[in-house]
Amino acid sequence: MDVLKKVPVREQDPKVRATNFKEVCLGYNEEEAREEASRCIQCKNPKCVKGCPVSINIPGFIKEVEEGNIEEAAKVIAQSSALPAVCGRVCPQESQCEGQCIRGIKGEPVSIGKLERFVADWSREHGIVPKAPEKTNGKKVAVIGSGPSGLTCAGDLAKLGYEVTIFEALHEPGGVLTYGIPEFRLPKDGVVQPEIDNVRKLGVKIETNVIVGKSVTIDELLDEEGFQAVFIGSGAGLPMFMGIPGENANGVFSANEYLTRSNLMKAFRDDYDTPIVAGNKVAVVGGGNVAMDAARTALRLGAEVHVVYRRSEAELPARAEEVHHAKEEGIIFDLLSNPIEILTDEKGWVNGMKCIRMELGEPDASGRRRPVEVKGSEFVIDVDTVIMSLGTSPNPLISNTTKGLDINKRKCIIAEESTGKTSKEGVYAGGDAVTGAATVILAMEAGRAGARGIDEYLSARN
């Protein structure tokens, strides 16, 4: 074995997977995982742990994998993460733990994410479940939203003995894990639901179809329902649009709606009646992970798919792995291009998208070079469906119905990073509701911070 190179991970053939919704990456088996784990040099001062937002003891669990003690490896991970099978699949490890791996200086970093996924999958297949605390402390905490932030906060509080109830607006728990990330990246029945069930096994209750701000308010939870603290992990589900002519045409979707129809409502399955416009030629506007998810979903529904992005490939915010997979599957990238109008037929349906060429100027506040229009370079892409993937912001329903809860100009809840504390006593918040759209692991980090903040707050009230 070449210690400078990762053990390869098996994947579905691109031509085959482009026609199905089965998981693309097949993961390691035990032999492969132990071989990859042996590449870890067990640093005395492991930078990989500092690169992990939830501070998993990475060398610790990898050592157990190398020695074949997979259940012990699972226990190490469980100290820090309630969603290892999810994180092993969707975390941007290349810019976090693996980005800090010392082994990566002279070769390829250790495949930390794939090893975490192996441990989590092995645990599920062998019936390893977390144990609920023997007794609770009698204190009730409400968590709003069952996405990664809410699940993490709830799980951490349950381990500390709190009686936790999660309130979820939709009919299935999981938040973005359920409605946002496609089946081929994150299987719902095989991965997401078992991890949610593990949180339930810690004693957490989940009530679905409860819209906080409409069904019940935060003040009612605190004043009438007996909850002593509330954590808001409601995410950022309000899509953004460009404001260009034709954007209200039939056949224009937000990526949020498109992915929710496909993922949560199973529109990709022939035995479900959920309507979705498959399209023959689809343009996805944007360059993030959500754009890749929407593009690869449209491809699997039978469309020719173009990703239209105003910067170059070097500035694409999506994970390199997702871009690589999209290209392998045949998605066309129209880079340095920006839509200026969506064209329609006489019945109001999309029949084209007028774009303009862009060139890169000086760096902007994000550090990326600012795209500038090239005058006179307009052109039309022949499409019948457009999916806008330009980011999301928090739904203002909770902030509008909660007195004393401060928000910023982007409608995000203002909360302390280290504790999740908001301007309203007893109310904590974290994840996309605070930061705007970000990653699963950063939402989980915020959930852990919120749990710490709530524990400190309620412990001080004894």
Per-residue model confidence as pLDDT tens digits over 32-49: 999 999 999 999 999 999
Q: What is the pLDDT of residues 425-449, one digit of tens each?
A: 999 999 999 999 899 999 999 999 9
The CA distance from 75 to 72, in Å, is: 5
Does 462 have pLDDT greater than 80? Answer: no
For residue 129, name the pLDDT band (cuts at 50, 70, 90). Answer: confident
State the pTM of this model. Answer: 0.93
Q: Which residues contact 98 (CB under 8 A, 6 or more apart)?
A: 48, 51, 104, 109, 110, 111, 112, 113
Q: Helices 148-159 and 440-459 meet at what angle, rounded to 10?
A: 40
Does 461 have pLDDT greater than 90? Answer: no
Q: Is 290 exposed, middle or buried (0-12, 13-18, 19+ CB in 10 A)?
A: buried
State the number of CA atoms in the 13 A half-sphere of 144 facing the CB. Answer: 32
Q: Which residues contact 278 (CB under 8 A, 6 or more apart)?
A: 298, 301, 302, 303, 385
Question: Which residues does residue 165 pair with via DSSP β-bridges, in sequence order?
Answer: 142, 205
Cα distances (angstroms) measured from residue 246 to each of 90, 103, 211, 228, 375: 34, 51, 32, 48, 21
Q: Is 126 exposed, middle or buried (0-12, 13-18, 19+ CB in 10 A)?
A: exposed
The CA distance from 244 to 77, in Å, is: 47
Angle at 394 between CA 388 and CA 398, to 5 degrees: 145
Q: What is the pLDDT of residues 338-371, one digit of tens each?
A: 999 999 999 999 999 999 999 999 888 878 889 9
Could you give the domains of the chain? 10-125 (1.10.1060.10), 140-236+394-459 (3.50.50.60), 241-390 (3.50.50.60)
- The H or E element that residue 295 is part of is helix 289-300
Q: Of 144-148, 288-292, 367-371, 398-402, which gets the smallest average pLDDT? A: 367-371
Does 287 have pLDDT greater than 90? Answer: yes
Please check whether residue 401 is in contact with residue 269, taking contact to mean a CB–CB distance below 8 angstroms: no
Q: In this predicted model, which residue has the larger pLDDT, 270 or 79?
A: 79
The CA distance from 89 to 155, in Å, is: 20
Q: Give the pair of three-digit tokens for residue 377.
A: 């370079």
DSSP 8-state symbol, 393: E
Q: Percentage of the chain with pLDDT > 90?
A: 90
So what's the pLDDT on residue 267? 83
